[in-house]
Amino acid sequence: MWGAETCAIVTGPLRGQSGNANSVAFSPSGRHIVAGFQNQKIQVWDAETGAVVTGPFEGEIGSVNSVAFSPDGKHVVSGSSDKTIWVWDAKTGVLVTGPFEGHRGHVSCVAFSPNGKHIASGSSDRTIRVWDARTGALVMDPLQHRAYVSSLAFSPNGRHIVSGSWDKTIQTWDAETGATVMGPFRGHTDCISSVTFSPDGKYIASGSVDKTIRVWDAQTGAVVMGPFEGHAGYVSSVAFSPNGKLIVSGSYDGTIQVWGAETDAGTTRQFEGHSGCISSVTFSPDGQHLASGSQDQTIQIWDAETGAMVTKPLKRHNGSVNSVSFSPNGRHIVSGSSDMTIQVWDVETGAVVKGPLKGWYGSVFSVAFSPDGKRIVSGSADGTIQVWDAETGTAATDPIKGHSSYALSVAFSPNGEYVVSGSWDKTVGVWHARTGAVVIGPLKGHSGNVNSVAFSPNGKYIASGSSDKTIQVWDAKTGAIVTGPLEGHKDIVFSVQFSPNGKHIVSGSSDRTILVWDAQTGAVVTGPFEGHSDGVSSVSFSANARYIVSGSWDKTIRVWDVGEGTRATGTFEESGDAANSSASSSQKGSPSFNNSSVIDNGWIMGPNAELLFWVPPLLHKGLFWPANKLVIGNLITTKLDLTHFVHGDEWVFCQG
């Protein structure tokens, strides 16, 4: 069980059964948790202590696919693969009623009505059945979908039932008569896996095998929010928070995500930040934190949701912090500095746990953990690459020598066997991480310094960004250029990274912009993202690929939402705020403020250099561009609500 605010484990793991837990549910009081298992068992735990309260429940049942408490918390209903439904005493585990028989396929989902009098069940036989909870008698004819019914829920007032099906549709039904109230709702492109009502009954949230979440108006069936994109696997479960402001989703990608079910705009906030240029930024593996290194000689850790500092600035370096990287488990950060040292820090306490590591004659430009977290690789101004034992702080190999100038960027391959490096000598090298032997290279193709290198997630490709303003994609096995040069930036490319699925590359440049590219074709997918007032030194994707973080010489950090919204740009989508801002004005033909808008002498410019609106100088650096989720720095941050913005002759559409 996880804390909803901290995302830390509060209780658990809860143990007692060896099979997969197919379904879990809280009791109405929140004091207990029930789970149904593939091994045909049901068990109840104390939510606070994790102690087993009841169970396993004994009975001739199949694999338990769904469990739910009654509204008074006294009973538990279960649906099983043996096509039956059972009702149990939650306190003793004794069978109260059952089996309820009638389904011709396994029972996939069950729910009590809010008054506790009825139980609804969905099945692979494509039907929904409503039963008398006390007698087990059917109270209406089966309700029919065209395919497997995967999820259902009663509305808070008990009048309606919502159901989701593998036929890709959602329907609402009258809980008394069985008549269709609304639907089918269409929009998902694959099977529906989960549906739920909001606490006020006005909205329905749905999760799908298409990896998205949508929010629907329960009365009209219109999509009011979404699709929310960010999961890398199909969405298995969705639920509203009790206040209806948040939606939580679970996925087969192994992650849980929390989404805002409300919008906000027109806010101004003051943050603290770095006093020097940002050299390096990165997301923690779980996406909850950001780490940044700066020329002010500090590392700072930020809450990725709020932008608040998690710890005090980490201070032990005596020179610019050029590179920061999280360990795979997110517990440590490694930093490399112009003071010629490496430090390893505890994320929670901010204490140095290893270091300083020394062993070269020049600034440390780049550092990274190995995928297993046991080693660290560094690149230095003396042209050498060093692999370290992360636990002992000792050198794991002799210095790797092969570059004739600064080793500006280093990274491990996904399997940890190889290290790639980019250098001031305009080449890329690939080395064996344990022996230091040359694997391929030097790879030649850039006409300027290679400032950044990255392996693709599958380890087959390497991306490199250069002072020649281009990006190249190389075959990691043969060294051949497979895509490139990628041309679009107007100045030096300082940072490149693959998206988690390997399909895209993000780049940051001294031209102050960020671009996202198709890794296979080299085409620009989205961008340029404007907003920074100076060069972009570092960019990184979040683990769910929904966000990009950028650090700049303008001393700010920006987080960009590239996975939410309604208006597609290539295979990415602009943020909800961007879509809303643009739609409000473009629907009447007006030019709009978008992520590629430029600010010139305080004026936000339209696509054809139209003067859209003026921003006071004090607010320039902290202004949110439409896709920005966060802007962090020593500045005032400002969000604009452009819902009613019009331009030029369109002023006649203004309403008093």
Q: Model confidence over 449-465: pLDDT tens digits?
A: 999 999 999 999 999 99
Distance of CA 350 to the CA centre of its chain: 25
Show the tokens assigned to 496: 């490149």
Mean pLDDT score across all residues of the chain? 86
Contact 554, 536 (CB under 8 A): no
Q: Model confidence over 313-366: pLDDT tens digits?
A: 999 999 999 999 999 999 999 999 999 999 999 998 899 999 899 877 789 999
Show the tokens assigned to 613: 């609106």
Contact 162, 170 (CB under 8 A): yes
> Exposed e or buried b for every residue in 163-178, given b needs 16+ CB within 10 A?
bbbbbbbbbbbebeeb
Structural domains of the chain in order of their starting residue, each with its CATH number = 1-144 (2.130.10.10), 147-262 (2.130.10.10), 268-576 (2.130.10.10)
Taking alpha carbons only, the member of 137, 122, 210 closest to residue 171 is 122
- Phi-psi region for residue 134, left (φ > 0), alpha (ψ -120 to 50) or beta? alpha
Instruction: Please report, as a single letter, which amino acid is at residue 36.
Output: G
Q: Quick one: pLDDT band at residue 46, thresholds 50, 70, 90?
A: confident
> How large a percentage of the chain has pLDDT more than 70?
88
Distance of CA 626 to the CA centre of its chain: 18
pLDDT of residue 263: 40
Distance of CA 337 to the CA centre of its chain: 29
pLDDT of residue 570: 31
Sequential DSSP letters for 207-251: EETTSEEEEEETTT--EEEEEEE--SS-EEEEEE-TTSSEEEEEE
Strands 278-283 and 42-46: unpaired
User: Which one is predicted more confidently, 235 or 20?
Assistant: 235
User: Which one is predicted more confidently, 602 or 575?
Assistant: 602
Taking alpha carbons only, the member of 26, 59, 29, 53 closest to residue 41 is 59
User: Which one is predicted more confidently, 395 or 224?
Assistant: 395
Q: Model confidence over 186-198: pLDDT tens digits?
A: 989 999 999 999 9
Which segment of 157-166, 426-435, 529-538, 614-623 scores lowest on mean pLDDT? 614-623
Q: Quick one: pLDDT band at residue 37, thresholds 50, 70, 90?
A: confident
CA atoms within 13 A on the CB side of 507: 39
Q: Quick one: pLDDT band at residue 387, thresholds 50, 70, 90?
A: very high
Q: Is the pTM of this model over 0.85?
A: no
- The angle subtended at Cα 325 by Cα 320 and Cα 329, nearest 5°, is 150
**C-alpha dihedral (251, 255, 258, 261), degrees to nearest 10:** -20
> Exposed e or buried b for every residue in 67-103, given b needs 16+ CB within 10 A?
bbbbbebebbbbbbbbbbbbbbebeebebbbbbbebb
Q: Quick one: pLDDT band at residue 265, thresholds 50, 70, 90?
A: very low
Nearby residues of 280 by Cβ (< 8 Å), 6 or more positions away: 292, 293, 321, 322, 323, 324, 537, 538, 551
Contact 407, 414 (CB under 8 A): no
Contact 384, 429 (CB under 8 A): no
Show the tokens assigned to 499: 């998206």
Section 564-579 average pLDDT:
32
Task: Name the strand (E) or helix (H) holding 321.
Answer: strand 321-326
- The angle subtended at Cα 534 by Cα 526 and Cα 277, nearest 5°, is 115
Show the tokens assigned to 631: 């802007």
Tokens 């091994």 sit at which residue?
39
User: Which one is predicted more confidently, 254 or 622?
Assistant: 622
Residue 502, judged by CB atoms within 10 A of its CB (0-12, 13-18, 19+), counts as: middle
